[in-house]
Amino acid sequence: MAVLAFILFLSIFLLILYGFPVAFTMGGIAMIYGICFLEPSSLAALPSRFMWVMSNNILIAVPLFIYMGIMLEKSGLAESMLESMAMLFGRIRGGLAISVVIVGALLAASTGIVGATVVTMGLISLPVMLKRGYQTELATGTIASSGTLGQIIPPSIVLVLLGDTLQIPVGDLFRAALIPGILLVGAYIVYILIVARIKPEYAPAIPREEIKAFQKEGYLMKMFQAFFLPLLLIVAVLGSIFSGIASATEASAIGAFGACLLMIVQGKFSWKTVREVGQETTKLTSMVFLILLGATTFSFVFRSLGGDRYLIELVEAAQFTPMVFLVIVMIFVFVMGFFIDFIEIIFIFVPVIAPILEAFGVDLVWVGILLALNLQTSFLSPPFGFSLFYLKGVAPEGVTTGHLYRGIIPFLLIQLVLLSMVFLFPALFGL
């Protein structure tokens, strides 16, 4: 029976690589195996699993955070933030690229949606960076990597899903992710400053005359709208979680309501926008929950066939230490990130390895942060990094796939270095 569980796992994995829809592949193939190889009475427990998923309070945060992110995207927040930040750092070489990183981090803390951030930043900042003489590789690498900060900087949809899959509090994951997220932003900025120092022509400064002209036209009000209001929303969401006033689910409701208020203050609120945001939120949420229900079916059948017990026995027989097993898991997740989406990895792979890590007594919050950092690399890893696809779709003519691949490699290496440090020295990161 245990062998059947791994044939099930391999079947689903191969079909997803071939291009079949994830939710229906996981749920459909698992049901076929369940009907053929399990007792009919055992399948009676499956509906209660579905009801547990649909009534799980933690997962209410998913549509609310998605709603908050899309609402902020529609508000034009990114454009005003980037313009103001560019003028703030424009006098130093690489200042525009640094602005992109900081705005990417702020958008990550405001939205947590990678695709929306990369597309928005690509449309707004890439033409400007190229026009000002930035090297194409540096410009594309900066935008693509900054857009993925929503994977690790809370509130992150990835952390919400990992918290549910690993059965650990999402608030704990949010707290633990804060320091690695900030350090990753700092590492990006240091790299840009080093490149601008060694190769000044790759990252020119903005002319002083242009900065002075910007500062004459309602400078303080622009800075207030671009930074104070978004920071107020971030503090309201994360502060309510970290202070213990609200759970992650309650904070997501605060964020969704705050995004609406922010749009009203900026004078861009309309019922048409609300309808569009609602429609996009429904589509994204439906996709996530369909995959989740398919993953629930897979996990139920896999465990009923004895796959989890067999895997634990296999690891024990191989006499792996917890750290060796975790290294193998991280390598596997990194390689899988080249081929399949992070949601698929979370819902297919994490439920399989979670019981083993729990049996080893490994801190699952630490594991969650390692997985989040690792999954972030999946958005940037050639040839199938989704951030690269998003950016290529909105890039101006003349920006090739080769530019994207070459530009992302230094930022990918930075992420791997940080991932290694969090693995080797968790205490330094408060883990």
In order, the DSSP letters of 79-135 are: HHHHHHHHHHHTTSTTHHHHHHHHHHHHHHHHT--HHHHHHHHHHHHHHHHHHTT--
Is the predicted pLDDT of residue 226 greater than 70, yes or no? no
Omega before residue 207 within 30° of 0, cis: no
Burial of residue 264, with CB atoms counted within 10 A of its CB: 0-12 exposed, 13-18 middle, 19 or more buried: exposed
DSSP 402: H
Following DSSP, what letter does each residue of 31-86 receive, concatenated?
HHHHHHHS-GGGGGGHHHHHHHHHT-GGGGHHHHHHHHHHHHHHTTHHHHHHHHHH
Tokens of 248: 């992650």
How many Cβ atoms are within 10 Å of 193's Cβ, its own excluded?
17
Residue 99 contacts residue 82 (beta carbons within 8 Å): yes
Rounded-to-integer distance, Cα 27 and Cα 431, Å: 35
Rounded-to-integer distance, Cα 8 and Cα 29, Å: 7
Residue 325 contacts residue 356 (beta carbons within 8 Å): yes
Distance in angstroms between the alpha carbons of the first and the last residue of the chain: 38
Whole-number pLDDT of residue 421: 92
Q: Identify the band that residue 239 occupies on the pLDDT scale cut at 50, 70 and 90.
A: confident
Task: Give SS3 for 226.
Answer: helix
Whole-number pLDDT of residue 215: 63
Across residues 306-330, what is the average pLDDT?
A: 77
Across residues 154-174, what is the average pLDDT?
A: 82
Rounded-to-integer distance, Cα 158 and Cα 342, Å: 8
Q: Identify the band that residue 422 occupies on the pLDDT scale cut at 50, 70 and 90.
A: very high
Lowest mean pLDDT among 43-47, 109-113, 129-133, 292-296: 109-113
Whole-number pLDDT of residue 354: 84
420: phi then psi, degrees, rounded to nearest 5:
-65, -40
Q: Identify the band that residue 161 occupies on the pLDDT scale cut at 50, 70 and 90.
A: confident
Task: Give SS3 for 218.
Answer: coil
DSSP 228: I
Rounded-to-integer distance, Cα 331 and Cα 323, Å: 12
Q: What is the mean pLDDT of the chain?
A: 79
Nearest to 146 by CA among 120, 176, 178, 174: 120
Nearest to 73 by CA among 237, 265, 273: 273
Whole-number pLDDT of residue 258: 84
Rounded-to-integer distance, Cα 3 and Cα 311, Å: 10
pLDDT of 261-284, one tens digit each?
A: 888 877 777 888 888 888 888 887
pLDDT of 62-85, one tens digit each?
A: 788 778 777 876 776 666 777 677
Omega before residue 383 within 30° of 0, cis: yes
pLDDT of 97-140, one tens digit each?
A: 888 888 888 777 665 566 666 777 777 778 878 887 888 888 88
Angle, CA 209 vertex, CA 206 and CA 212 arms, to 5°: 100
Amino acid identity for residue 316 in this structure:
E
Is the predicted pLDDT of residue 190 greater than 90, yes or no? yes
Across residues 288-310, what is the average pLDDT?
A: 76
Across residues 334-342, what is the average pLDDT?
A: 71
Whether the CA torsion 250, 255, 261, 264 is positive or negative: it is: negative
Rounded-to-integer distance, Cα 206 and Cα 94, Å: 9
Angle, CA 267 vertex, CA 117 and CA 113 arms, to 5°: 15
Amino acid identity for residue 332 in this structure:
F
Rounded-to-integer distance, Cα 298 and Cα 31, Å: 8
